[in-house]
Structures are given as C-alpha cells and as structure tokens.
Structure 1
C-alpha cells in the first residue's frame, strides 16, 4: 500500500503550506517522498528487469532521456551509472533528440534508451523512442514512468525489446511541478541499472530527507519571505543537473516572478556571473567528491566576499564544510544534510532537492500564487501542449520513416 505523509497537525512543519490556497498537493507530494523511496526499494526485487546479458555487453551505449525535469533525472544519474556499468552512459534530452536525431544517434551501436516521463504523454516522449528505433540497428528501451496509461507506457508494454518500470501511483504528481515523480524515477532507475548499490543507500537518503523535512521548512520559509528577485543555483558534476532542476522548480512555481538561473560551479565565472547583483541569492550544492568540492568551496568564498551577508547559502552533506561559513543552526549560511557520508552525488541529490522544492513552494505561497497550478490561465501546462512532431527524413533511411511519429499532444 502506498504510504503518504501524515495528516497536517500542530507539529507539522509544512502545515502553513498544506493549508495555503492552491498549495495542498505540492506540499503533500514534497513531504511524501521518503516514504515513496522506501516503497520503490521494496518493489525493486520484483520489478521488471533489463536483461542482464544486455547490460553485460561491452559495446552497449546507454542514453538517458526525458524533457525538462525528466531530462535532469538523466543528468543526475549518468556519471554514477557510467562508473557502475563501465559503459558509455550519456544524458540527452528528448528536446534535443527530436529536432536533431542524427546528432543524438550518430553512432549506430547497440543502445539502451532510458526514457523518463511522469505522464508519458508529452509529444517528445514517444517520438524520441521511435526515432531511436528508426536510426539504430539495435535499440532496447527502458521506460520509467508514473503513468501506466500514458502513450509511452502503452506503446512499449508489449514491445519485444522494451521494459516498462512503473512508479507507485502516488508518484504521479497531481500538482503542476514534478517532485515525487522525479525522485522516485531516479531511485528506481539507479536500483534497476546499478549492480553495486549499497544495501542501506535508500534508507539513508530517506532518513536524511526526513530530517530536512523536519528541520528545514522554517528556515526556507524565512528565506522565501525575503523574496529575492534573482536566485542562482550552482553545482559540480551530477549536481549541475540538480542545480538546473532546482532553478526550474523556483521559476515554475513562482510563474517567472523570480528569475532563477543555474550553472556549474566552475562555469559560472565564465560570463554568467554577470547575473549577480546585491539582491541575488546564490545556493551552492557542494559535491561529495573531495576534488570537486574544492572548486565548489572556492566559489563560495569568492561569492561571499562580494555579496551581502546571508546571500550565499551552502547545501552540503559533509560536516567539514561547516567552515564554509556557519554550521547548520548557527548563522544559517550552511545547510548540512546529515547521514550522507560515503554516498555519491546522485544519492545526495535526493535530500538536497527537498531543500529546493521547499524554497520554491514557500516562495510561491509568499508571493500569493497557487503552486499546485501557478499558471491558472494556461500559459504553461502540466503536460506540454502545442508541439508538432514532424516526420524525420533521414535520406536513405527515409523509407523507414513512420508518419505515426506524430505523438499525441
């Protein structure tokens, strides 16, 4: 049975958001994530599996794809899966695959296309899988989705080279923003493809996220009340993808009222630093890799020397990073998530993203918006609309083009 977060009560740190107009589902879906990760882990033992002999092939290329938040799931997982599998693993968004399939699939090698999709009804989702089948001699599919009735799940349910991995029903977010769906798909895919997942990894990140949910809301609410007009998220390696997801959540849930930007810690100096002004809030997601962390903390020191006090926040899983500027509970400048020692950044990203989800939710509420649907007049939709998927003419391969590549909108 799907576990959900406890009913709001006097001790509920998210009670103000649960009761705010138009915020209930977003608050619920942020809060339920640790319980859902445990559910995903329990289900992994009996979940459909990608054939082991396929993953064992040395010539296999793995492509992780999706649109928007679903694309960032691929960015989070690609480095860890490349290390675990010893294979070529790349994250390529469907929004890059569909207009430029010959670039995405330039190498005709055996490929496992991992498609992340909350609904599976976005136009690019099904089109990307069909284009891969057209351009590649041998393509296998792992569809990771929250919607068993979506176009993507239905198209691959009985396909001979396809595996469909379904998330718990509660992961199919009712609210506009992807929260539970992102993190559940990330956990499920790591468990499905990584042969060396630590036995306690899911429990550790779930416990860490519960700690964030218990202690962080008052702090992030106070930050949201300052209503910074610009917010920058920065990270290294896999956490660059998390920075992009964090910025997207804030941009979405504030309906663009807060300008949010993301970059890598090292890349930020090369021009994008121009976005900074005295009102900007910068959040640095510190890597657990000792080498990458040096670059993150160098940037923290540089930013704190140039921005007003309190405008540079560090999110870290390491106690040693407290000297970056205030231990958790001291001046609030460093938010340390306990219990993550020894886990790589793809695992750390799960409790880290809860901080970003809270800040986006609470900023939306503070601005008087409705985070469950921040675009009530339909300027931006929960499932992307208005995309026409055009048949692909690949020259000699055009004879194989299927006009049905126009996916439902």
Structure 2
C-alpha cells in the first residue's frame, strides 16, 4: 500500500494506521477460525436465547462501534427471525428508560475496541438495572479493558475476544471495526456465512495491493474535495456513516464529510453539494434496493462535474450505463448480503481517508495532537439513574 508520496515511513505519522488497514484480510481469516473454534460454547450460550420468540437483540457501541450495529441490524434480524435494534451506547446511557422501554428478555451485544470508554460499561450496567432479564455478548479487542473484565465471569455474559492485533493503536478504528462486525455476523448468523470470510478477505487483499485501485483513490484525493458525501441504503447506510467518520477523524475535521441514505439525501442533505463535493455511493446487492442507489447516482452524475461521483459495488451493481460515474469494484461478491459486502467496501473509504489526511500534511496516527479529540473518549460524567 502506497501514499501520494510513495511508500510510507515512520515520519509520515501513519505507520499504525497503514499496518492496521493492511492487516485486515489476515485478521478476518483469523476471526473466522476463532469463531469456528468457539462454535460449541457460543451455541450453548446463544442458542437458548435466540430460540425464544420474545427475545429482543440490541446491538450497541459508540462511534464506529455503533456503526457496526447499524451495518448488522437488518441481516441479523432476517437470520434470527427476531427483533434486532441498533442503539448506540451514547443514546442508551443518556436515555436508558426510553431505549429499553419494553421490558423484554434482551440480548445486549456490545461492540468495543478498548472497552474503556465511559459509556461501554455504563450501558451494560444500566441495561441490568432497567430490564428484568438481560444477557450480554461482549465483542471486544482488549482483554484487559473494563468491559471485558466486568463480564468475564458472569453466568449471563459471554466475552468474545478479537485477535490482539485488532486492538488498533492508530487513532481511528479500522481493523477493530471490521473484525468485530465480522465476528458478530459469524457468531449470530451461524452456518449462513460459512466460507464468506475467506472470500471477503481475498477481495480486500486485492483492493489493498492493486496498483489500479491505488491510482484511482489517489486521483480522487488529488481533486482536493472540500466535501465528501457517502450514500448507501439499508446496511450500507451504516457503512456510509462509518466511512464519513473515517474521513472526519483522519483529516482532523479539515474535510467536511457526511452520510445519508440514497433516498434520504434528496430531503434536505443534498444542500451540501457544491462544485468541490465528491459523492461516494455504495450500491446494494439487493436487486430491489439497488434501483434507488442507481437512481441517485444517475441524478448526481448529471449535476456534478465529471469525476465527482463514484460507485462502490459488486459487478452487478455498477453505475447506470452512461451515467458518467466511476465504479470501484468488489469482484466476485455479487451474491453476498450487504452486511458482508460492507467489510471489503469500507477498505476503499479507509484508504481515501488515509490519503486525504496525508495530502493535507496531517499525521493519521495522531490527527488531533492538541488532544481536543481522543482515541478513548474523555470528559464524560456518568450520572446515577434513580428508579
């Protein structure tokens, strides 16, 4: 993987971020083996819960970890045949009675890179306080984090640890996001995703190593866009949110980045467009949903300067004929669900964010050297909930 100035050196301040983007395919294969080796114990814990018709599954986390839940929500609801909601810890901690208003048997799935952010443990504690029956699946990259230690020996909890390398040292979550998302998909989705991780890893390796991809991403960044918009539908709307967050984080907020659904963009957010806006549209693998993604691509390609609109899609989802949109491909993945498609797709956004950061002279491993934004969030005061 290269940058606008060639191969990275330590002086670029990007060594951790580059390594953590590049290591993802190998880690996904390792996560696949890890979940397979834990299958018996996972099924013993999850099976009796998911068999219950009144179970509610809540996917929770903060920031990037919240987007993991949004990517997974629909796919897991379909696989489990149960109600699945993505609720950020930041919402749950601020309004636990509202977020958990229905006192249903609940499986709270917590995503946390470090498990040390104030909301991580607080969300699980509040769920225990508000609900009559709650079980916890903790998916984390840090065995020594508060969240993992708090739930390690609880009978109503199961901690699923990611490979140690997934505990990203860079500022922004990259491999931690994709590993935790994949782990949840495999753990809760069961046999439906057998063999998928290897296919996703193969495509991600191609994205990272292919010179043509590198040139395409570089050319887009060299346009020096002042605004980048990510669009997607369903699971890919969650991916759009995570992609925009990566650009904001790694560029230290110097590039305005936003996200919306393909249909929702016309309802006000479209006002962000100007001559220096780039739009990245994730195209769904679902034939029905894909129509709406392609419609907005065709519309925006006709209104923005040439080269301003890019689609990221498996082969069947490429931009409409004659739309003028460039297409960055995810070859051989036409038949996978969007929640799985999101994993190699996000690598494009990670590379774009990395290159945009370096192009502006920002150090991706530490884009906020003055400390106004922190790798593990600070400044949160937790307040007691009185029933």
Please point out which of 14, 23, 33 is paired with 1:32: 23
Structure 1 residue 134 and structure 2 residue 120: aligned?
no
Please point out which of 308, 311, 317 is paired with 2:308: 311
State how 1:22-101 maps to structure 2 within 5 Å: 22-47=13-38, 48-49=41-42, 50-101=45-96
Structure 1 residue 380 and structure 2 residue 365: aligned?
no
Shift of 1:192: 0.7
- CA 1:275–1:17 in structure 2 vs 1: closer, same or farther (change >3 Å)? farther
Shift of 1:322: 4.8
State how 1:4-403 maps to structure 2 within 5 Å: 12-13=1-2, 16=6, 18-19=8-9, 21-47=12-38, 48-49=41-42, 50-215=45-210, 216-319=213-316, 321-325=318-322, 333-393=326-386, 398=387
Could you tell me whether the CA contact under 8 Å between 1:253 and 1:360 is conserved in 2? Answer: yes
Shift of 1:360: 0.1
Q: Which secondary structure does the structure 2 equivalent of 1:96 belong to? A: helix
Could you tell me whether the CA contact under 8 Å between 2:294 and 2:320 is conserved in 1? Answer: no
Q: TM-score, normalised by structure 1?
A: 0.90
- CA 1:319–1:192 in structure 2 vs 1: closer, same or farther (change >3 Å)? same
Task: Give 5+ residue unaligned stretches, structure 1.
Answer: 1-11, 399-409
- CA 1:17–1:183 in structure 2 vs 1: closer, same or farther (change >3 Å)? farther
Shift of 1:197: 2.4
Whole-Å separation in 2 of the counterparts to 1:239 and 1:32: 23
Task: Give 5+ residue unaligned stretches, structure 2.
Answer: none
Q: Which secondary structure does the structure 2 equivalent of 1:142 belong to? A: strand
- CA 1:46–1:225 in structure 2 vs 1: closer, same or farther (change >3 Å)? same
Shift of 1:18: 2.9
Comparing 131-140 and 51-60, the one that deviates more: 51-60
- CA 1:119–1:325 in structure 2 vs 1: closer, same or farther (change >3 Å)? farther
Could you tell me whether the CA contact under 8 Å between 1:17 and 1:362 is conserved in 2? Answer: no
Shift of 1:159: 1.0
- CA 1:301–1:323 in structure 2 vs 1: closer, same or farther (change >3 Å)? closer
* Counterpart for residue 5 of structure 1: none
Query: Aligned residue pairs: how many?
Result: 379
Whole-Å separation in 2 of the counterparts to 1:370 and 1:303: 32
Q: Which secondary structure does the structure 2 equivalent of 1:129 belong to? A: helix
Comparing 269-278 and 50-59, the one that deviates more: 50-59
Could you tell me whether the CA contact under 8 Å between 2:319 and 2:325 is conserved in 1? Answer: no
Could you tell me whether the CA contact under 8 Å between 2:354 and 2:364 is conserved in 1? Answer: yes
Write the deviation string for residues 318-337 of structure 1: whole angstroms up to 9, x where unpaired.
Answer: 245254558xxxx8711111
Q: TM-score, normalised by structure 2?
A: 0.95
Whole-Å separation in 2 of the counterparts to 1:325 and 1:27: 35
Whole-Å separation in 2 of the counterparts to 1:241 and 1:38: 23
